[in-house]
Structure 1
């Protein structure tokens, strides 16, 4: 399935991805303090709809400096999250979820386990499952990964909400 050109951080783009996506469009809500939505991406076509969605965000890390976060939902085998993570295969890999989870976040009000996945050294990668789809959180720089484990993120499906989302500058992380 083709990766479509990324969408800019606008209300029009959010509305378009809300309508085209057959997988959740996960959005941390409320946004962490100081964070902005910085773009959207999807894999799919007009015939089948988006089989993977990505929401890009930027804001302050818990350590120091800025951080970039991608939140991805995808059907198994699509490979968008793995591509952003820097993995060779389409999914997190066998045994990624062995042992206790490294983080828990709220997804639609339910605790959801995430495990660290070994990706490129410059980013922190967590993966899990929500609503039968892969859920990926990928954050740069790698030391900002503590945001996933410590900030008590709560994800909603933007397809189900008409929100006044704060937007920032387009994220170059989507140009992968």
Structure 2
């Protein structure tokens, strides 16, 4: 088990649990368009169905996101990955890892699960081609044995997709 996955299994702090309960209630009352939470009894791991926006390359396609919350959420970003099969996208690896700055370096405690999901849907919607990142095979090979995307040093250089 990697250190990131081990730490993500620690119990949520009281602040994290309260914040997530508030966000979950908001999702139940007013889910963002294009998303459906899958109900589980685990507050620390959410599975969310993503429906591609009409008029985009991903129109009506359905994918699943897995969101794992660390002990100190929202001070620390959740780990967000697509459950394979992940969409074909220049910033989404075949193992489900997502190259999106708000999930790493640009995370802010003011962000919510809803804002993260909307950013991912926006990233999908703005894509002009369905393809894997150029380094997909090498990256996925290096991520064997359960390596977390949070252990990756991402290079955010392409804001066109």
Q: TM-score, normalised by structure 2?
A: 0.31
Q: Which has the higher strand share?
A: 1
Q: Which has the larger radius of gyration?
A: 2
